[in-house]
Structure 1
Amino acid sequence: MTDLFTRNLADQAALLQSMTGLSAHVHQAARLCSDSLQAGGKLLFCGNGGSAADSQHLASELTGRFIKDRRPLAALSLTTDSSALTCIGNDYSFDEVFARQVRGLGRAGDVLIGISTSGNSCNVIRAVEEARAIGMQVICLLGRDGGALKPVSDVAVVVPSQVTARIQEAHILIGHTLCGLIEESLGLV
């Protein structure tokens, strides 16, 4: 049996070292989120598969608590309502499952946070299009070369890896950092 764990640790450590250049993007993303929340806006998260789980995880860190007990922050994941997902997917298409929720729940001044390891998830792209149409800011956590989502984001945080698992691991570190920066910016820690 190979020592996959040790190899994964080494690969992730090397990736993390290469990510120091993303600091300005992460801080810019946190500022957009903080400004929106301060003005009474909300954060909408979306993604597929592991990125759907990350969307739920990060939204719950904000509505619950992250560093210490504090007031809940307005954040929700568009991946959690199975009835909405299946209704929209059935009646329209899977490409519309986030876009229709953004159209119904989002408002100018809110922030959409799309998570896609490839940067090419059609339903996240459609959500970004709807967010733009109603005056929302867009942050995307991406991987590889950023794909189609990179140029349509206000802030694109692109993890420089081709390996989905390593990208997802980095996304949760970035997401946790965003949560901490938001709490700091709002004076909640």
Structure 2
Amino acid sequence: MQNKIRNIISESVAVKNKVLQNTALLKAVEDITNLTVQALKNGNRVYFCGNGGSAADAQHLAAEFSGRFYTDREALPAEALHVNTSYLTAVANDYSYDVVYARLVRGICNKGDVLIGLSTSGNSANIVKAFEVAREKGVTTIGFTGETGGKMKDLSDYLLNVPSTDTPRIQESHILLGHIYCQLVEEKYFSEA
């Protein structure tokens, strides 16, 4: 069993090494940091969405912004779109699960806001529809996906596509990249405030 554990850890490290060598991906993290800091300075908000484990990661990253990451500081305006279970279950029941995020984006997002969608396949219908609405409204879209980017690739203003097709390894890298993003936004925003 210990060999299996070592192999799983090695696979995770191998994906992270691919991320480390991917200059386009690292540049995307830099770009979304600068974009997000400017959006926040302009009075805009950051929204996150995902499904399953990616929803947990979306909620985690939103909390890093609205709570704190490394430093005691004011809350940043960020939230995960799926945390209102009454809304989520009502819309899924009355309309379709595919529109749970799109309806919120249409209802609460404003031009200049940032929408971050996490989907290992890049094909989650509810995130794809949310990104389509975001495009109509002038909301910047950031996709955290796996290797191909899926349908989100063409709908993402910025794409962080982890070079893997293995769901757990992709999610591990999403949270790594998400933590880096949170740290850099916190540092840059509050050093320039």
Which string of whole-angstrom CA distances, capped at 9 and with x for unpartnered residues, describes residues 96-121 of structure 1? 01011111110001000000000000
CA shift, 1:188, in A, is 4.7
> Once superposed, what is the RMSD of the aligned Cα atoms?
1.2
* Counterpart code for 1:9: I
Partner in structure 2 of residue 140 of structure 1: 143
CA shift, 1:144, in A, is 2.7
Q: How many pairs were matched up?
A: 189
Q: Distance in 1 between matches of 2:176 and 2:155?
A: 23
TM-score, with length taken from structure 2: 0.95
Structure showing the higher helix proportion among its residues? 2
CA shift, 1:177, in A, is 0.6
> Unmatched 5+ residue regions in structure 2?
none
Partner in structure 2 of residue 13 of structure 1: 13
* Counterpart code for 2:18: S
Partner in structure 1 of residue 156 of structure 2: 153
CA shift, 1:2, in A, is 5.3
Which string of whole-angstrom CA distances, capped at 9 and with x for unpartnered residues, describes residues 24-53 of structure 1? 011111112111111000001000000000
2:48 is the counterpart of 1:42: no
Q: Percent identity?
A: 46
Matches within 5 A, 1:86-125: 86-125=89-128
Q: Distance in 1 between matches of 2:191 and 2:121?
A: 34
Asked if the contact 1:55/1:79 (under 8 Å) is kept, the reply is: no
Comparing 148-157 and 3-12, the one that deviates more: 3-12
2:183 is the counterpart of 1:180: yes
Equivalent position SS for 1:187? helix
Asked if the contact 1:138/1:155 (under 8 Å) is kept, the reply is: yes
Q: Distance in 1 between matches of 2:5 and 2:34?
A: 36
Asked if the contact 1:70/1:188 (under 8 Å) is kept, the reply is: no
Q: Distance in 1 between matches of 2:191 and 2:145?
A: 28
TM-score, with length taken from structure 1: 0.97
Matches within 5 A, 1:58-69: 58-69=61-72
Partner in structure 2 of residue 56 of structure 1: 59
Partner in structure 2 of residue 82 of structure 1: 85
* Counterpart code for 1:114: G
Runs of 4+ in 1 over 4 A off after TM superposition: none
Q: Distance in 2 between matches of 1:88 and 1:32?
A: 31
Q: Distance in 1 between matches of 2:32 and 2:150?
A: 18
* Counterpart code for 1:166: R
Which string of whole-angstrom CA distances, capped at 9 and with x for unpartnered residues, describes residues 147-171 of structure 1? 0101111100000101000000000
Q: Distance in 1 between matches of 2:173 and 2:88?
A: 27
Q: Distance in 2 between matches of 1:170 and 1:56?
A: 16
